[in-house]
């Protein structure tokens, strides 16, 4: 039971920022627009990534679709890491996608290596 609580805390701690950052990109938040301009990416790409983050976060909430959400985020995380390295952001900014990736790896391991962990769905 305690392991399931930890698992769902990890899921919620991943999904809430996924929604926040995804909706910021989707609706063209000022800071997101500035970041994508600095990276040299078109704004339609920002909206596409925002949609992918929101969709991936939603998929993570349900047991049958969690694997699809888990599959979407490494691509997003790798792109974020590349973008921050490309513009030579500070090390603490570059570390954020790495930490998000580690968080996702822990969720992946909980989901597929601990039998019966995903018994309870939302």
pLDDT digits 0-9 by tens, 49-83: 999 999 999 999 998 899 999 999 999 999 999 99
**Other Cβ atoms closer than 10 A to 18:** 23
* 50 touches 24 (CB < 8 A): yes
Cα 114 to Cα 26: distance, rounded to the nearest angstrom: 35
Q: Is the pLDDT of residue 121 over 60?
A: no
Task: Name the pLDDT band for 120 (thresholds 50, 70, 90).
Answer: very low
Rounded to 5 degrees, φ, ψ at 87 are -95, 10
Phi, psi values for residue 61, rounded to 5°: -75, -20
Q: Indicate if the pLDDT at residue 26 is higher than 70.
A: yes
Q: Is the pLDDT of residue 87 over 80?
A: yes
State mean pLDDT over 23-42.
96
Q: How much is the pLDDT for 116?
A: 63
Q: pTM (2 decimals)?
A: 0.88
Q: How far apart are CA 15 and CA 53, in angstroms?
A: 9
Average pLDDT over residues 3-19: 93
Summarised one tens digit per residue, pLDDT across range 89-103 is 999 999 999 999 999
Distance between CA 68 and CA 116 in Å, rounded?
19
* Predicted local distance difference test score (pLDDT) of residue 122: 42
As a whole number, the mean pLDDT across the chain is 91
H-helix segments, the chain: 2-26, 30-39, 43-60, 66-86, 91-113
């Amino acid at each position: 039971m305690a392991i399931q609580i930890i698992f769902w805390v990890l899921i919620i701690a991943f999904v809430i920022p996924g929604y926040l950052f995804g909706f910021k990109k989707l609706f063209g938040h000022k800071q997101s627009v500035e970041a994508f301009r600095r990276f040299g990416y078109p704004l339609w790409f920002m909206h596409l990534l925002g949609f992918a983050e929101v969709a991936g976060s939603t998929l993570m909430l349900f047991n049958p679709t969690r694997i699809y959400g888990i599959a979407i985020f490494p691509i997003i995380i790798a792109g974020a890491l590349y973008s921050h390295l490309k513009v030579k952001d500070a090390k603490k900014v570059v570390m954020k996608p790495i930490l998000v990736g580690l968080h996702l790896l822990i969720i992946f391991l909980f989901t597929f290596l601990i039998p019966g962990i995903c018994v309870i769905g939302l």
